[in-house]
Structure 1
Amino acid sequence: MERIFEDEDIPDRDSCPDTRKKEEEKAAEPCPASSHKPSEEDNGKLSVISWNVDGLDTDKIEERARGLCSFLALYTPDVVLLQELIPPYVQYLKKRAVSYLIIQGGEEGYFTGMMLKRSRVKLVESEIVTYPTTQMMRNLLLAQVDFKGQKLCLMTSHFESCKAHAAERMKQLRVVKQRMKGAPYDVTVLFGGDTNLRDPEVAKVGLPSSVCDVWERLGKQEHCRYTWDTKANNNKAAPYISRCRFDRVYFRPATKDGVPRLAPDHMALVGLEKLDCGRFISDHWGIYCSFSAG
């Protein structure tokens, strides 16, 4: 693959320039994730970002990747679930975001990944589940982790794209559904990813009663609805307006007696403002969620 990132242009690790911080604080104003930024002392709250970073689009990709790293430095999420990574993007993240352990869902082409904050989330094991009938480079990446003594099962995926592939997307959702439903009762399960789902598709498959769509659970707030919005995001220069809730977060709390029961308490879209290079971090907005003990 062609060289996309210039090593000599990588600034200090985990740095976050003041000007960039101001831009991203402003970007979060409609639904301020920064006001819910977890502190190291806030041991009971779990914070998560899920984002399709559009690594396949290499235009201004270094500036966009730097913008993502600035968000990570600003919000310090415990878990980051990423889609549409490419190998050079992952290498850049490994050099910049050294406080995170990175797990990859693939090695070639484009793939998913997870970033676990080393000081708060400990990896137990990870697994890649293949989708047997997919026509694209798609799978389900899982990680069993320990978060402050709690067992978590983290999942991310990038479901089949395009309206015509609804049947395949529903097959993929069924795999996720079964994995979430089948997790032990002492485990908290969280899925975040670019599902490309339409609401009628979800209705056909159905979610277990124990699993919630975080956006729905938190009141279906309009400012957090559309994660793919060509009306507000011109990275793709689309000649049409399309506003969709492709990116979703599903959550199943642990139910075993004596196990802390987390519940979603906040959701925000991030990446809403253009970077200095004139582009957004991605053609998708990112989702920031936090979960606290109920």
Structure 2
Amino acid sequence: MESDSETHSGEDTTPDDWMDLAVDSPDGSPAASPAATQKPSEEEDFKLSLITWNVDGLDLEKRPERSRGLVKYLNLHNPDVVFLQELVPPYVQFLKEQLVNYLMIEGGRNGCFTGMLLKKSRVKLVESEMVAFPTTKMRRNLLVAQVIVNGQKLCLMTSHFESCKENTAERLKQLHVVKRRLKHAPDDVTIVFGGDTNLRDAEVTKVGLPATVCDVWERLGKQEHCRYTWDTSANNNKTFPFVARCRFDRIYLRPAIKRGIPRLAPDHMALVGLEKLDCGRYTSDHWGIYCTFSAE
């Protein structure tokens, strides 16, 4: 996929069965999150909340019900920023109609791709771009958004790195692209990267991260209950002849390092999507990560 500074919209029409499962308010209009129209408190002004989630949009089984489950989770947690991977055009259309208090930025048009949701009341978009991974065989890229939150400059990045164990070499190249962005961003900008990286710990060690960058899970004490985001021993959306527990989904933070600029630090992390939906399946074969940051 070629680099592109424009935001693209999915052109597929939302199927009727998706619309039948819309999450409505009592008067029949699409439901917004509880705080959609509320002005953030002073305490909230010093925080940033984020969810990153591979939603497995390519899986057709119970997809409308699972998309409805995603909307309910997002309305419950009401994050400022959402990073999504494995979106497909009908899924994007559904989210746009349901989450009217968010701006959707899409990282592609066809197949599956990444996306971002930015809460309109909290996050002001300055510009966005898609950065190509030149040698990807899976149409993967890096979606980047420059935003303003409470007067502070943030660079938000999400990606879905090349999948499968045999594609280590390509994943390392993709991590290098992210590393350069983390290392060379302006000193007055806070950078948050999150997504389905498919990374193994040895691969991260091989590339290395800049000293100014932290892995949020590690910074918060490597809590065991948040370690595995793809866990076939607990999530049976997919059937495999093996058990795998992997920390594929990761969040990296590089706080602004210029003197006088508030430095964000992670203060909470939890997995979401751990409950089965009424349809008997989970929202995705991945757990989502919910994370909050506060100024130090």
2:275 aligned partner: 273
CA 1:241–1:145: 2 relative to 1, 3 Å: same
RMSD: 1.7
Post-superposition offset of 1:11: 3.4
TM-score (norm 2): 0.90
Q: Which amino acid aligns with 2:21?
A: D
Match of 2:155, SS state, is strand
Kindly provide the CA deviation profile for residues 106-145 of structure 1, in whole angstroms up to 9, marking residues without a partner as x. Answer: 0100000000000000000001000000000200000000
2:202 aligned partner: 200
**Moved beyond 2 Å, runs of 4+:** 1-9, 14-17
1:40 aligned partner: 40
Post-superposition offset of 1:2: 9.0
Match among 225, 241, 244 for residue 243 of structure 2: 241
Of all paired residues, the percent bearing the same amino acid is: 68
1:115 aligned partner: 117
Kindly provide the CA deviation profile for residues 28-80 of structure 1, in whole angstroms up to 9, marking residues without a partner as x. Answer: xxxxxxxxxxx921111100000000000011011111111111111100000
Name the CA distance, whole Å, in 1 between partners of 2:122 and 2:221: 29
Q: Which amino acid aligns with 1:205?
A: V
1:6 aligned partner: 18
* Mapping for residues 1-294 of structure 1, pairs under 5 Å: 4=15, 5-12=17-24, 13-14=30-31, 40-41=40-41, 42-294=44-296
Post-superposition offset of 1:9: 3.4
Structure 1 unmatched runs, 5+: 18-38
Name the CA distance, whole Å, in 1 between partners of 2:89 and 2:235: 25
Post-superposition offset of 1:237: 1.9
Q: Which amino acid aligns with 2:40?
A: E
Name the CA distance, whole Å, in 2 between partners of 1:73 and 1:2: 24
Match of 2:45, SS state, is coil
Name the CA distance, whole Å, in 1 between partners of 2:169 and 2:290: 29
Task: Give the total of aligned pairs.
Answer: 274
Name the CA distance, whole Å, in 2 between partners of 1:96 and 1:176: 31
Name the CA distance, whole Å, in 2 between partners of 1:7 and 1:235: 23
Post-superposition offset of 1:213: 0.4
Name the CA distance, whole Å, in 2 between partners of 1:2 and 1:129: 27
Residue 14 of structure 1 contacts residue 69 of structure 1 at CA under 8 Å; is this kept in 2?
no
Q: Which amino acid aligns with 2:18?
A: E
Residue 185 of structure 1 contacts residue 255 of structure 1 at CA under 8 Å; is this kept in 2?
yes
TM-score (norm 1): 0.90
